[in-house]
Amino acid sequence: MTLQWGYKRAFGRCALLFVAGTALQMIFGDLNNEFLRYPWGLIIALNYLYLLVLIHFQKHRWKWLGQLADHYACTSALASMVVMTIIFGLTRQDPASEGIVGMLGFSRMTSSWAFNLLLLYFTTTTGLAVMEDLQHIRKRRVAAVLSHAAVFVVLVAGIFGSGDKLRVSVTLQKGQPSHWGISREGEQVDLPFVLTLDEFRMEEYAPKLYVLDAMTEQSSRDFLSVEQAGDEATIDGWHLTAVENLDMAGHMPDSDEYRAMEHVGAAPAVYVRARNFRTGVEREGWVSCGSFVFEPSYLFLDDRLAVAMPRREAKHYLSRLQVVEEDGAHHNFDIEVNHPARVGAWRIYQMGYDTQRGRWSEVSVVECVRDGWYSAVHIALWTMLVAGVVMFLTAGGRKVAIKQGKEAKQ
């Protein structure tokens, strides 16, 4: 099956945009979106919309303008963006990347000329399709038109509002107010509010026990997850049994025996009994990942192998913050990953903590993000959701109507 000429032409246009973007990337480097800062981003967006209106009403006079709005263009633009998005997702985003990936800008995709040119082209075809829908809205389903329009709004806001997005990293010490942070460019930025860390909380996964090769420093692939005393597993020929499990423990300087301890710096500890299936050799003792107070403890099985516990992984953590705005308004928030707090046009995200202290961290790293176009995107996303629900609910009735129409014709 040969590809239709319309698709060949449309995909050829996308290929030319990719080649042009690659050439611009090699000549000028990354695309700097600082020129889109307010008010220029808004001004350029309004002129762009005006240009789309002109193209829409002139496309019948100029054939090449009409080719920007046909279904070939829409399909090829969408397919090209899907490919670029897949590359985006599979490529590590690292400004320091070198080689062909770094040269093409794939490791800095949002600053890549090729990506942004194809995104602008996709936005243009979507916008022209929306205008066609609006002009013939009586022949279109309103829910579908609203859905397409919402997608167009999200795309426009993402492109022309990118220069207005400000990200500020703030490192908070418990009980110490802070009203400034560091931008991604390394500049100090004053915030329109004061942040104070009241408390940091963390929930960790159960401790895991591995068999460690001290010569190669390689851990076994299998492990024993210790939820409670009595848990057991067979790892590399050794049968491990957790005889005792202490969530918070410590030991005296002159002793290797761990005891339960409710104190800052307490570490998880497991008393392990190990037996080798082949030789029958048995070993037992305490194993702990340690903390900033206690050194890690290992159970040596022989001259080479030992049972080890790596640092426990964070399952869930949050920061309890006080936020005081310039007008004196006072707020209390519990923020966690993917659950930010909102203060005016700002979002406050949980980003990190003091990994050395873990659950005992008195430091929380948050990111304050200001996006002037957020409201437009928020409304558009809700519109897409409502339109999707309406299309789902009305799909059944439409199928019935089509079926009745066919039966009537017969």
- Residues 149 and 258 grouped into a single domain: no
Please tell me the distance from the alpha carbon of residue 2 to that of residue 8, in angstroms, as a whole number.
Answer: 10
Among 202, 176, 174, which Cα is nearest to 358's?
A: 202
In a domain? residue 26? yes
On the CB side of 362, how many CA atoms lie within 13 Å of its CA? 7
Residue 405 lies in a domain: no
Instruction: List the chain residues with pLDDT less than 70.
Output: 1-3, 5, 94-98, 395-410
Same domain, 268 and 233: yes
150 part of a folded domain: yes
Quickly count: other Cβ atoms within 10 Å of residue 317's Cβ: 19
142, 29: one domain = yes
Smallest Cα–Cα separation from 24: which of 120, 168, 135, 91?
Answer: 120
241 occurs within a structural domain: yes
Do 14 and 117 sit in the same domain of this protein? yes
Please report the pLDDT score of residue 3 as a whole number. 55
Q: Indicate whether 223 and 267 sit together in one domain.
A: yes
Give the model's pLDDT for residue 113. Answer: 92
Domain match, 199 and 329 both: yes
Q: Are 288 and 257 part of one and the same domain? A: yes
Say whether both 22 and 143 belong to one domain.
yes
The tens digit of pLDDT for each residue in 116-145 reads: 999 999 999 999 988 888 887 777 778 888
Mean pLDDT score of the chain? 87
Tell whether 379 is covered by a domain.
Answer: yes
Domain total in the chain:
3
191 and 97 belong to one structural domain:
no
Same domain, 228 and 246: yes
CATH code (residue 339): 2.60.98.10
pLDDT at position 400, please?
46
The reply to whether 291 falls in a domain is yes
Which amino acid appears at position 256 of this protein?
Answer: D
Same domain, 25 and 143: yes
**pLDDT value, residue 1:** 44
- Euclidean distance between CA atoms 137 and 155, whole angstroms: 22
198 neighbors 321 (Cβ within 8 angstroms): yes
The whole-angstrom separation of Cα 254 and Cα 269 is 17
What is the domain extent for residue 187? 166-203+315-370
Instruction: Classify residue 212: in a domain, yes or no.
Output: yes
Say whether both 304 and 363 belong to one domain.
no
Q: Could you tell me if residue 40 is inside a domain?
A: yes
